[in-house]
Amino acid sequence: MARYTLEELASKISGAKIENCADPKKIQVESVSPVNPGVTNSISFLASKKMLNEAKKTASSIVLTTSDFAKELEVPCLVVDKPDLILAQVLDLIYPPHKFENKVEENAYVHPKAKIGKNCYIGNFASVAEYAEIGDNVILEDGVRIGRGAKVGEGSHVGPNNVIHHGVIIGKRFRSFGNCTVGGDGFRFVFANGKHNKIPQVGTVIVGDDVEMGSNSAIDRGGLENTIIGDGCKFDNLVHIGHNCVLGKNVVIAGYTGVAGSTTIGDNCTIGGGCGIADHIGIPSGTIVGGGTSVRNTLPKPDIYVGWDYGLTFPEFQKLRVNIKNVVNFQKWARRIKAIEAKLGLTTEE
């Protein structure tokens, strides 16, 4: 961890201002903590009115917040327009990320016909196959495998034990964590003569710029066409994208979600955790799919969809839940009505 005075911290963040502090040189921070309860010599952040009362009681030495919220506080404030976004800069300053050397470890393997850019790190037991191309300022952590003819764009950071299969193209500033696989075979078999016969997958995977993949994610290569991941997509851990899928820009997918083959997802979609997306369907740009939802048909319009396999919007699903509850309770109501009729001596035709 690094230690900064409030004055030093403000000088490193463009546009930041100091409020509620007579002498910012005397206020020091060496950690970042939640606003409730806060910690001495730490900085907390406040971006929502929900936490304003907690911030008024914080033990933290500094609060990173907006000008409006700073007026409500007495604690020294580092004022910015978007504190939740600037928090990333503060975290990098106080907890500097590890800096990898410009080197190839002795037990790594780089094929003589591979191309390695400037200022790269290739870790222990990593390997780069023939005709592969690694851009400038790329980090390949321990155990990474870069396949024949694969390309990794500049500024990328490939996590430990990742496998980038042959012919895969990775864009700039790619980031992945442990044990991801990009470009493994798509899942296609034809049952004949009493067995499942494998169909070769001859497409590849093309990944855009600024894509991030969480640990143990897997992206299948295309069968005849390519699997495409658009710029700015972000995947949580354990996300699977099937062969021939096409994802637009800025698609966010939470953990344990699988997207079956040949499905198209538009730009700026958000898909919750534990979802199952069927094959050969479309999800329009701007759609939100709630966690645990199963989508089996092409969705007709951008909306919030939730449920099992109904493809319902959120209001439609709420109505369905009420109807299901009514059906479940109907038998109890029927028994009560019959008991009342019996006490009154009424008879009804069935």
Instruction: With cut-offs at 50, 70 and 90, classify the pLDDT of residue 262.
Output: very high
> Distance between CA atoms of 242 and 230, rounded to whole angstroms?
15
Q: What are the C-alpha distances in Å from 153 to residues 172, 206, 235?
A: 4, 11, 18
What average pLDDT does range 263-283 have in this prediction? 97
Closest CA relative to residue 296, chosen from 285, 313, 284, 308: 308
> Which amino acid, one-letter code, is at 97?
P
The tokens describing 309, both together, are 């396999």
Question: What does the pLDDT read at residue 310?
Answer: 61
Whether the per-residue pLDDT at 61 is higher than 70: the answer is yes
Least confident among 153-162, 249-258, 294-303: 294-303
Convert the pLDDT of each residue in 7-47 to its tens digit: 999 999 999 999 999 999 999 999 999 999 999 999 999 99
Please tell me the least confidently modeled range out of 3-7, 77-81, 316-320.
316-320
Query: What CATH code would you report for 4-94?
Result: 3.40.1390.10
> pLDDT per residue over 195-243, tens digit each?
999 999 999 999 999 999 999 999 999 999 999 999 999 999 999 999 9
Assess whether pLDDT exceeds 90 at residue 1: no
280 has catalytic annotation: no
State percent of the chain over pLDDT 90: 85
| Residues 9/29, Cβ–Cβ less than 8 Å | yes
* Per-residue pLDDT tens over the stretch 302-315: 999 987 656 677 78
pLDDT score of 318: 76
Q: Regarding predicted confidence, which is higher, 112 or 2?
A: 112
pLDDT, residue 309, reads 57
Say what the pLDDT of residue 350 is: 59
CATH number of 109-305: 2.160.10.10
End-to-end Cα distance, the chain:
78
Range 119-126 average pLDDT: 98
pLDDT number for residue 329? 75
Dihedral sign computed on CA atoms, order 60, 66, 69, 71: positive
C-alpha 238, offset from chain centre: 10
Q: What is the largest CA-CA distance in the chain?
A: 96
Looking at 157, 165, 240, 243, which residue is catalytic? 243
Q: Where are the domains of the chain?
A: 4-94, 109-305, 314-349
